Structure 1
Amino acid sequence: MSEVQSKRLAVGKITGAHGIRGWVKVYSYTDPVENILDYSPWQIFTQGQWREVKVLDGRVQGKGVVAQIEGITDRNAAELLQQVPIEVARDALPDADDGEFYWDELEGLAVVNREGVALGTVSHLFETDAHPILVAVDGDSERMIPFVESYIDEIDLEAKKIVVDWQLDW
């Protein structure tokens, strides 16, 4: 299949085979983890190219998800997909609710504190056991700011700016 031209968003990765009938174990980046099953088709990167695959079935299994993908019918085929990234077309995702954001919408936004001091640009966000972390990069400097209401004052996508309760020397 040809590569989809629209922007893709990473939603997880295949971590291995599950059983003998071609099911795969999936590490989901979505919250809750089973939401990854709502996004079909998936786009996976195999044999040097992106291809679209349809999710036939899936369920939560332990801390992760297992899924059956169209065309993958045995364990050997499933094992070939180990560590393959899963992405979906960005325009296939529903719009975020008011006050909620997809993390990719925040990447590249300027981060300033309440005093208007520039702290950097959002490089990425990542999840920890406690809460998400926003990473603001300014040259060689990297600031990790808890992405929680007590530190994030305002997110303005139109102005491409995030205002935080954070000091330059923290």
Structure 2
Amino acid sequence: MIVMGRIVGPFGVKGWVKLKTFTDSPEILADQAGWWVGRDGDWREVASVQTQRNGATLLARFEGCDSPEAALAYRGFEVGLPRESLPPPGEDELYLADLIGLLVVNTDGELLGALAGMFSNGAHEVMRVVDGDAERLVPFIDQFVRRVDVDAKRILVEWGKDW
């Protein structure tokens, strides 16, 4: 399952939910007949009745969700889509979810850890690299990321082990 966003709460009085998307292409979600919602990897499919853009957020109304109270029950749920339902990435593009688990190695050949997650700080994506109890946050920008090799399962970075 590829996490595409998170439901932040109800919107209005007719059971709409407000979604913070984690994608540059929220229309991918809007084009789907159904979504998967869940927490902690426990997913269930819901039918999406309607979607519409509202500034930087996406609004959705699910089948059977007709009140603010019903919509409130979805707050905090992640919204996902099966990988196979997504369009293939374009040339020189990738899905960030495909990078989770790759080893992160610096240009000195030192293993920094495995990519455990990504998040946006508003300016760019940031990699959360974990090695045992150690955690590093490495900006996912050209200045630091030298190469992403999905086939070799490695990300090469210009980042010191002691930074």
Q: TM-score range by the shorter chain?
A: 0.7 to 0.9
| In structure 1, C-alpha distance between the alignment counterparts of 2:43 and 2:111, rounded to whole Å | 38
Asked if 1:15 is matched to 2:11, the reply is no
**Code of the aligned partner of 1:50:** W
Partner of 2:84, secondary structure, is: helix
- 2:66 corresponds to: 73
Asked if 1:88 is matched to 2:90, the reply is no
Aligned-pair CA distance for 1:90:
1.5
Match of 2:90 among 83, 88, 97: 97
Aligned length: 161
- 1:3 corresponds to: none
| In structure 2, C-alpha distance between the alignment counterparts of 1:50 and 1:151, rounded to whole Å | 35
- 1:52 corresponds to: 45
**Aligned-residue CA RMSD in angstroms?**
2.0
Normalised to the residue count of structure 2, the TM-score between the two structures is 0.86
- For structure 2, list consecutive stretches of 5 or more residues without a partner in the other structure: none
Match of 1:42 among 35, 48, 55: 35
Moved more, 101-110 or 17-26: 17-26
- 1:5 corresponds to: none
Asked if 1:130 is matched to 2:123, the reply is yes
Identity %: 35
- For structure 1, list consecutive stretches of 5 or more residues without a partner in the other structure: 1-7
Partner of 2:141, secondary structure, is: coil
| In structure 2, C-alpha distance between the alignment counterparts of 1:153 and 1:39, rounded to whole Å | 35
Normalised to the residue count of structure 1, the TM-score between the two structures is 0.83
